[in-house]
Amino acid sequence: MRRSVITMGALALALGTATASPGGNAFDITGGEAIVIRKSGSYTVRRPLKARSDQPLVTIAADDVSLDLNGFTLTGLGGKTGAGIVIDGRANVKVHGGTLRDFGTALDVRDSSNVVLAGLQISGEDLPGLPPETGILLVNSRGVRMTDNVIARTFLGVFVRGGGSGANTIKRNTIAGGENGQLGICYNPAPDADPAVDGPSGDLVAENHISRFRTAIQTSPASRANIFVRNYLGFFDLPFDERTPGSNTIGANLEAALP
């Protein structure tokens, strides 16, 4: 598998080009497969991108990166395969303004800080079971601001994991399940961590519209001191499943059981 690396200047990609502007590290992305961004700068997608393998379609491997999807669509292979955009161990990253569809996980953020995810349209295939089809995954990440996104037809809408996660803001998103939606927003320990002691804390989850999931919001036993306020919850079974009752602040939410 070839991996295309975007660096300073004009480089050929597997299926397109990245062209630098005269001003320096601002780049156009016009195509590619397994694109890896390794230099700080501003990047703009100039055409639809399609996954050719189960490798992440775009990996952001540098700090101080802004990726503008520019209204275009990134499309996966389907069948809960692969990731659309991966941000791993990075700081000061922004992804905004486009569509991701048919990935196993559309956006995967790990061990990162000061990340903005805004104005994105994410859609899945409404596939049930494990591994979960997920809209946005955060693992051990802090200071992530996720606002004004639309997530539809995924098994899990937003999945927040790990005691290293905190001070994140999840606000004004629309998160809609399909026939198989399980959890709108889920708080869990990190993979392989002890669920009795590991869980995200200190997040603000507010003003989201979450509907058509079995459970709108679920928190694991050690997910504590998170604030869930002024959300609009339409659910089939439960509005909240708080595994340690009273461990989070929950208030002023509007709830409606769906038929």
Averaged pLDDT for residues 237-247:
98
**In this structure, what token pair is assigned to residue 119?**
């104005």
What's the alpha-carbon Rg for the chain, to the nearest Å?
A: 18
* 19 lies in some domain: no
The better pLDDT of the pair 243, 7 is held by 243
**Domain extent for 86:** 34-257
Preceding amide of 131 cis, omega within 30: yes
pLDDT per residue over 18-49, tens digit each? 444 434 455 677 665 689 999 999 999 999 99
Task: Say whether pLDDT at 135 is over 60.
Answer: yes
Residue 12 CB contacts under 8 Å (≥ 6 apart), including other chains: none
pLDDT per residue over 142-161, tens digit each? 999 999 999 999 999 999 99
SS3 221: coil
CA dist., res. 251 & res. 249, Å (int): 7
What's this model's pTM, rounded to 2 decimal places? 0.90
* 131 lies in some domain: yes
pLDDT per residue over 171-225, tens digit each? 999 999 999 999 999 999 999 999 999 999 999 999 999 999 999 999 999 999 9
pLDDT per residue over 63-80, tens digit each? 999 999 999 999 999 999
CA dist., res. 173 & res. 206, Å (int): 9
Looking at residue 145, its pLDDT comes to 98
CA dist., res. 35 & res. 55, Å (int): 9
Q: For residue 217, give the nearest of 168, 253, 193 by alpha carbon.
A: 253
* 174 lies in some domain: yes
Looking at residue 65, its pLDDT comes to 97
Looking at residue 30, its pLDDT comes to 61
CA dist., res. 127 & res. 131, Å (int): 10
Task: Say whether pLDDT at 107 is over 80.
Answer: yes
* 27 lies in some domain: no
Residue 44 CB contacts under 8 Å (≥ 6 apart), including other chains: 26, 27, 28, 29, 68, 70
Quote the DSSP letter at residue 85: E
- Domains in the chain, number: 1
- Identify the CATH number of the domain in which residue 204 sits: 2.160.20.10
Task: Say whether pLDDT at 4 is over 60.
Answer: no
Q: Taking the CB of residue 254, how many other CB atoms lie within 10 A of it?
A: 11
Quote the DSSP letter at residue 192: T
Do the strands 204-206 and 227-229 form a parallel or antiparallel pair, or are they unpaired?
parallel
Distance from the first to the final alpha carbon of the chain: 48
Instruction: Compute the mean pLDDT over every residue in the chain, rounded to the nearest whole number.
Output: 90
Residue 192 CB contacts under 8 Å (≥ 6 apart), including other chains: none
* 5 lies in some domain: no
